[in-house]
Structure formats: structure tokens, C-alpha cells
Amino acid sequence: MPMKTLSYSLVLLGGSLLSPASRAQAPPKSGEQVAVVAGQPIYEKDLLPHAQSQFRQLRNQEYELKSRILEGLINQKLVEAEAKKKGIASEKLLEEIDSKVTDPTDGEVEAYYLGQKDRQNRPLDGVKAQVRQGLKQARVQEARQAYFRKLREKAEVAIFLRQPKIEVRYDPARLRGAPDAPVTIVEFSDFQCPFCQRVGPTLKEVLGKYEGKVRLAYRDFPLQQIHPQAQAAAEASRCAGEQGKFWDYHDLLFSKPGKLDKASLVEHAGALALDVKQFESCLAGGKFKAKVEEDLQEGTLAGVSGTPAFFINGVLLSGAQPAAAFEKIIEAELAAERKAAGR
């Protein structure tokens, strides 16, 4: 989106994207009536239990929209300030950045075309100019984003827009990291999920970087329809936790994703020197089946629909995201904590 098309009229911080006329017709507050049936009132708050996850999704979508627009406005402000220092127009400054971007070579155009060949119904000669233009535009956007990051590093930028939070409980028995850490990551996961396995090293990296400041809590969310061994694995991890070896068993399961059958679950218990008879009795008796179901239900109510899903101090982050995605939220939470403490 070109810089000059961004409007300052959007109210983003603590406000609304609605026009004044629309705000005058805003939905009623939670204590206000929305209907009366046979003399019986229905209140705004009565609607929430019936569509909690959908309302959460809408609030998150509103935040994402505001956040994207805010990023554009911040970049626009930074460019205007830098252009003023140099005594040139903002458009001229951006043109200088764009002029440093090289044109794609014929080899790069051909390589991209071959990578997308299954989606193309035309020969290379028919789309060559279009592919070249698309690649060039992508490079221009990449160069601009790199420039915006450089400007932001040396400027004072304070963002007060916050993603909606969801209160999610955690299990103290399945907590990794400093017990008094100010930031808690609650993970809803599935032992048969390849993406959950993939994000493991990222979580280890994040916990190492923020040692003493971040803790990780694990909760079960077995997707039984596509992962038939996930439920038993979740129950087995609870049985191992009963003997004080939850995290050892957790790590072992993710290190051996192909060994989640019942025999292997017992074999893992033996490898960790657990009381195998006690473990087998626990697993065969379904001792923790209801507890696993409780995690699943609470995750669903919180808006989890797939794994892995994380709540970082209540802020939802879905999928096997890179460390930078975790760090962005963690840094915001730590900054808020410092501000609250007056530091």
C-alpha cells in the first residue's frame, strides 16, 4: 500500500475504526437489554456463553486489522521525519530506496516460473514480463521493510495497542521454568502433531533467552480424529508425571514421534526408570482420561482449534511460529510489567 494512501483519520489507540455516526449505534453494554421475550429480558451478557470462541475471533480480527494499519502509519511517520532531516520529500526518499533494488535476471525469472509451473497455464514467454514485474515489486517491498526496521531502531516508538487477552489456567505440575516468572506461556499441544514437535526447539530457545522471565506450561489437546495415538500418549504423560517425570517423558515422546503405540508408551516408562507396573496400571485404568478431556474442553472454550496453540500471558499465538513471533509478545509483556512497576 503506497504511503500517501494511508489515512490519519483512523482512530487506533484505545479507540475504534468506526465513524462517529457508527459509534453512536454501538452494541449495548453487557448489562443492557437486547430483547424481551414474554416479559423476560435478555441481556448482552447472555449472548456470550453461546458464542465465546466466535466473539474472541472477532476481537482478534479487529486487533489484527488495527495492528496492520498502525504499522503502516508508524512507517509513514518515520519516513516523513527522516525526509524532513534530509530536506527532501517523503516520496523522493522512498524513490531513493527503490532505485537501489536490482532487476531480476532472466535466470531468476525462469527459476520462479518453473517453481510455479503447475499453477501456470501459459508458456514462459507469455508471462515473463509479469513474473519479472512481480519479482521486482517483491524486492522493492522487502527493501522498504528493511529500511523501515532500520529507521525504527534509531527512533523512539511506543506502541500501546494491545492484543485481546484470554484468561487461561495452567497446571502447576506441568510447568517448566522459574515458578515466579512474569511471563507464562500456556501451550496446548498434541504428542502426535508434527508441528508441535517442530516448535519444540523454538520453545527451548525462547526459554533460554528469557531465563527467569518466562515459564512454559503444558496442556493437552489431542486431535483424535487425525491423530489416533494422541489421547493415549497424553494420558501416558500424566501417568509419568504422577511419578515426577512428566517433562522427561514429554521430551522422550517428541523425540520418538513414530513410537506412540501402547507397547512403546510402556517401553518409554521403563527407559526413564519409572515403576512400570504402576505406570501400566495407571494407563490401562484410564486414570487421567477425564483430566485430558478437561484440558481439551478448556482449550476449545479459549478458542483453540488446532495445535500447537499458545497463550502468552493470555495473548493467543497459533501454530509453529518462529522465535521472533514469541519474542515480540514477550517483549511487550515485559515492557508492560516494567511500566507497571515504575521502572
Tell me which H or E stretch contains 40. strand 40-43
Q: Tell me the three state secondary structure of residue 214.
A: strand
Give a yes or no: residue 25 inside a domain: no
Segment 164-173, tens digit of pLDDT: 888 899 999 9
Does 187 share its domain with 285? Answer: yes
Question: Of the residues 101, 124, 153, which one is the last residue of a structural domain?
Answer: 153
Does 196 share its domain with 312? Answer: yes
In CATH, what number is assigned to the domain containing residue 309?
3.40.30.10
Give a yes or no: residue 238 inside a domain: yes
Does 146 share its domain with 190? Answer: no
Does 215 share its domain with 278? Answer: yes
User: What is d(CA 32, CA 277) in angstroms, rounded to the nearest whole number?
Assistant: 58
Does 323 share its domain with 259? Answer: yes
Residue 201 predicted with pLDDT over 60 = yes
Distances (CA, A) of 81 to 116, 146, 156, 259: 40, 17, 12, 58
Using an 8 Å Cβ cutoff, are 263 and 269 in contact? no
Which has the closest alpha carbon to 82: 153, 26, 32? 153
Does 207 share its domain with 147? Answer: no
Does 208 share its domain with 332? Answer: yes
Give a yes or no: residue 128 inside a domain: yes
Give a yes or no: residue 166 inside a domain: no
Does 238 share its domain with 124? Answer: no
Length of the chain: 343
Using an 8 Å Cβ cutoff, are 238 and 180 in contact? no
Give a yes or no: residue 163 inside a domain: no
Mean pLDDT across 247-274: 97
Using an 8 Å Cβ cutoff, are 311 and 164 in contact? no
Number of H helices, E strands in the chain: 14, 7
Question: Of the residues 153, 180, 199, which one is the last residue of a structural domain?
Answer: 153
Give a yes or no: residue 161 inside a domain: no
Characterize the bridge pairing of strands 183-189 and 214-220. parallel
Which pLDDT score is estimated for 337? 87
Instruction: Show the cell assigned to 244.
Output: 515426577
Does 129 share its domain with 178? Answer: no
Segment 74-126, tens digit of pLDDT: 999 999 999 999 999 999 999 999 999 999 999 998 888 888 777 767 888 88
User: What is d(CA 8, CA 167) in angstroms, rounded to the nearest whole number?
Assistant: 33
Q: How many structural domains is the chain composed of?
A: 2
Q: Tell me the three state secondary structure of residue 151.
A: helix
Counting residues of the chain whose pLDDT is more than 90, the rounded percentage is: 68
Using an 8 Å Cβ cutoff, are 25 and 38 in contact? no
Which has the closest alpha carbon to 27: 58, 65, 63? 58
Question: Of the residues 84, 119, 153, which one is the last residue of a structural domain?
Answer: 153
Does 146 share its domain with 224? Answer: no
Per-chain mean pLDDT for the chain: 88
Residue bearing the bigger pLDDT, 24 or 130:
130
One-letter amino acid identity for 272? Answer: L
Instruction: Show the cell assigned to 90.
Output: 517523503
Give a yes or no: residue 165 inside a domain: no
Does 177 share its domain with 314? Answer: yes
Give a yes or no: residue 277 inside a domain: yes
User: What is d(CA 212, CA 255) in angstroms, rounded to the nearest whole number?
Assistant: 26
Domain of 314, in residue numbers: 172-340
Does 62 share its domain with 131? Answer: yes
Sorted by sequence, the CB contacts under 8 Å of residue 163 that are 6+ apart come out as 60, 63, 67, 315, 316, 329
Segment 270-291, tens digit of pLDDT: 999 999 999 999 999 999 999 9
